[in-house]
């Protein structure tokens, strides 16, 4: 009988994993409708590492990728290398890592919930195997279906990979409470988060300190065990020392400096607030200053985060608080600490940076559902006229139908209206334009491309599968730094110009932003890829590319 029950458990979680993988892999090449500039940067740098052992800047196996000047953390790039080796440089290869990571997160959500509740049993606290299995399975199902986790598991988001590493690290930490040898893989996976996504450079250290405070008595065995203490210390130093060096050198904080609450933009907003009110200078400095600005944005970001499964989330919080155990401290602490990285940035709410909260809301919601279910069973069993089995079945079926309806609504919106409405935000149109360029490359002396939609050079490198060796050694390559960002004005015979640098008269030259070169097309054959209507007089229109909502994206002209 027990074997049959165990088989049913494995079949159910196996089915959930199949659903999770399918929802993430289905049509992933076309939805989202295009690779964005971060995705093509990841893909081309991985391609460059595969072919040359260097990134696009020529640095051998870097620990941080300069890219556009945003200094990407390395793990997603390196894990994309095998995918590109197997399937080539394309959309599928770049997004496959995120799909797999999202599916693994579902599995380890299930495992860490079971491990968390098994700790209670080990301490003699009552928690039935059925309830443990129910909470673990429902947690995995919610991570599978909820739009928050599902949306982030399809594009090539480094945050999604970091979440996967964090879940695995947390699972092994919980196992290490009873089996000390698991502390080593826990440290490894927690350490990997630090090299995957910047928010985890804030969150993981905070959470690890939090874990040590909660389990300080249980971890005395680790402190007293020389072997594991030495291994753990060495691993920790291996992960932290390069990170400390990057922070000291400045490159480790470049990304945060662009999104932090207190940056140049924030200072401007503080000054604007002071100018808006006619208070005395002393009052203005007291009311509108960095601490008050920071506090306001911190609180605003925290309290605008989570709106899904609200009823059972609130129920779960109530049930957890009533239980007053380490499980409560862990989950509620996770939920609170998970808001910190997002709350320290200007853009709120930010679904990507607040991924550090996941999957705590889903787990708490699962606790809430199982708690309400148990309450219904208890109440209905006291009323003889009620059929407990029918009531409970109705409750479960109704909830699953609501989840299914929500999923259906989300999928219909995601694959239709979202795709057409927001294709511009995914830089749709580059692939179509570059296909035309590839077919007509030899017909033109110079090819001029608008910068309007961001980082066109990287899209050309990616979709043309440009040889990284040629790019790294290109004598025509024009790069320059401006506002802590690296811009490319030229490689090969491609020239990249801002919209306002496209002349209105055919005799006027195109002037590059770097001022290092001008393009005079009067005596040569030029191809221009520009935004709609932004073209010199007398040029001939060849093709046009629309966003998926029908509005104009690119127009292609020659002279």
Tokens of 366: 């699962």
Half-sphere exposure at residue 442, Cβ-oriented, CA atoms within 13 angstroms: 1
**520-555 burial by CB neighbour count: b if 16+ within 10 A, else e?**
ebeeeebbbbbbeebbbeebeeeeebebbeeeebbb
Query: Do residues 487 and 479 lie in contact, with contact meaning Cβ atoms separated by under 8 Å?
Result: yes
Provide the sign of the torsion angle of the four alpha carbons 83, 84, 88, 94, taken in this order.
Answer: positive
Tens-level pLDDT at each residue, the chain (559 residues): 456 556 788 899 999 999 999 999 999 999 999 999 999 999 999 999 999 999 999 999 999 999 898 899 999 999 999 999 999 999 999 999 999 999 999 999 999 999 999 886 655 555 567 889 999 999 999 999 988 889 999 999 999 999 999 999 999 999 999 999 999 999 999 999 999 999 999 999 999 999 999 999 888 888 888 899 999 999 999 999 989 888 887 665 555 555 544 444 444 454 454 455 555 444 444 444 444 444 444 444 434 333 557 889 889 999 999 887 888 999 999 999 998 887 766 554 456 778 899 999 999 999 999 999 888 887 777 766 667 778 888 888 988 888 888 888 888 888 988 899 889 989 999 999 999 999 999 999 999 999 998 889 999 999 999 999 999 999 999 998 887 788 899 999 999 999 988 998 888 899 898 888 889 998 899 999 999 999 999 999 999 999 999 999 999 999 8
Q: Is 474 exposed, middle or buried (0-12, 13-18, 19+ CB in 10 A)?
A: middle
User: 472 CB contacts (<8 Å, ≥6 apart)?
Assistant: 48, 52, 54, 56, 57, 58
Q: How far apart are alpha carbons 416 and 27 in whole angstroms?
A: 13
pTM listed for this prediction: 0.87
Residue showing tokens 């490159």: 251
For the chain, the structural domain boundaries read: 2-31+90-259+303-408, 426-558
User: In 3D, which of 108, 36, 38, 37 has the Cα closest to residue 73?
Assistant: 38
């Amino acid at each position: 009988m027990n074997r049959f029950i165990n088989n049913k458990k494995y079949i159910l979680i196996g089915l959930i994993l199949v659903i999770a993988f399918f929802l993430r892999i289905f049509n992933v090449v076309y939805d989202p409708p295009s690779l964005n500039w971060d995705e093509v940067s990841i893909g081309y740098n991985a391609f460059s590492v595969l072919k040359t052992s260097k990134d696009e800047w020529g640095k051998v196996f870097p620990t941080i990728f300069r890219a556009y000047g945003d200094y990407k953390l390395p793990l997603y790039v390196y894990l994309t290398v095998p995918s590109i080796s197997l399937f080539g440089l394309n959309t599928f290869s770049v997004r496959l890592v995120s799909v797999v990571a999202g599916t693994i997160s579902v599995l380890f959500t299930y495992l860490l919930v079971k491990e968390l509740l098994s700790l209670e049993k080990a301490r003699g606290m009552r928690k039935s195997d059925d309830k443990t299995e129910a909470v673990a399975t429902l947690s995995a199902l919610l991570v599978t279906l909820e739009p928050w986790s599902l949306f982030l598991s399809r594009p090539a988001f480094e945050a999604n990979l970091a979440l996967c590493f964090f879940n695995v690290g947390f699972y092994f930490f919980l196992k290490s409470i009873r089996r000390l040898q698991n502390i080593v893989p826990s440290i490894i996976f927690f350490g990997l988060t630090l090299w995957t996504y910047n928010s985890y450079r804030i969150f993981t250290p905070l959470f690890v300190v939090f874990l040590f405070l909660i389990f300080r008595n249980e971890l005395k065995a680790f402190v007293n065990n020389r072997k594991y203490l030495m291994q753990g210390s060495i691993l920790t130093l291996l992960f932290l020392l390069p990170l400390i060096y990057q922070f000291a050198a400045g490159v480790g904080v470049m990304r945060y400096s662009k999104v932090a609450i207190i940056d140049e933009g924030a200072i401007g907003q503080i000054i604007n607030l002071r100018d808006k009110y006619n208070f005395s200078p002393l009052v203005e400095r007291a009311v509108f200053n960095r601490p008050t600005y920071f506090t306001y944005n911190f609180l605003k970001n925290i309290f605008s985060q989570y709106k899904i499964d609200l009823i059972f989330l609130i129920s779960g919080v109530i049930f957890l608080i009533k239980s007053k155990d380490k499980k409560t401290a862990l989950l509620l602490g996770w939920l609170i600490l998970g808001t910190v990285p997002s709350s320290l940035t200007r853009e709120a709410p930010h679904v990507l940076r607040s991924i550090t909260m996941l999957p705590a809301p889903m787990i708490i919601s699962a606790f809430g559902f199982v708690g309400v279910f148990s309450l219904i069973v208890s109440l209905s069993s006291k009323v003889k006229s009620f059929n407990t089995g029918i009531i409970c079945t109705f409750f479960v079926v109704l909830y699953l139908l609501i989840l299914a309806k929500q999923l259906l609504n989300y999928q219909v919106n995601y694959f239709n209206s979202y795709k057409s409405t927001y294709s511009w935000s995914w830089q749709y149109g580059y692939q179509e334009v570059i296909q035309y360029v590839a077919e007509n490359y030899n017909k033109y002396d110079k090819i001029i491309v608008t910068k309007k939609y961001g980082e066109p050079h990287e899209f050309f490198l990616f979709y043309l599968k440009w040889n990284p060796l040629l790019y790294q050694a290109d004598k025509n390559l024009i790069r320059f730094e401006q506002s802590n960002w690296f811009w490319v004005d030229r490689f090969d015979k491609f020239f990249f110009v801002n919209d306002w640098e496209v002349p209105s008269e055919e005799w006027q030259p195109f002037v590059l932003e770097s001022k290092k070169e001008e393009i005079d097309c009067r005596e040569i054959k030029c191809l221009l890829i520009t935004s709609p209507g932004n073209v010199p007089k007398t040029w001939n229109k060849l093709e046009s590319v629309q966003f998926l909502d029908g509005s104009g994206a690119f127009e292609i002209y020659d002279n």
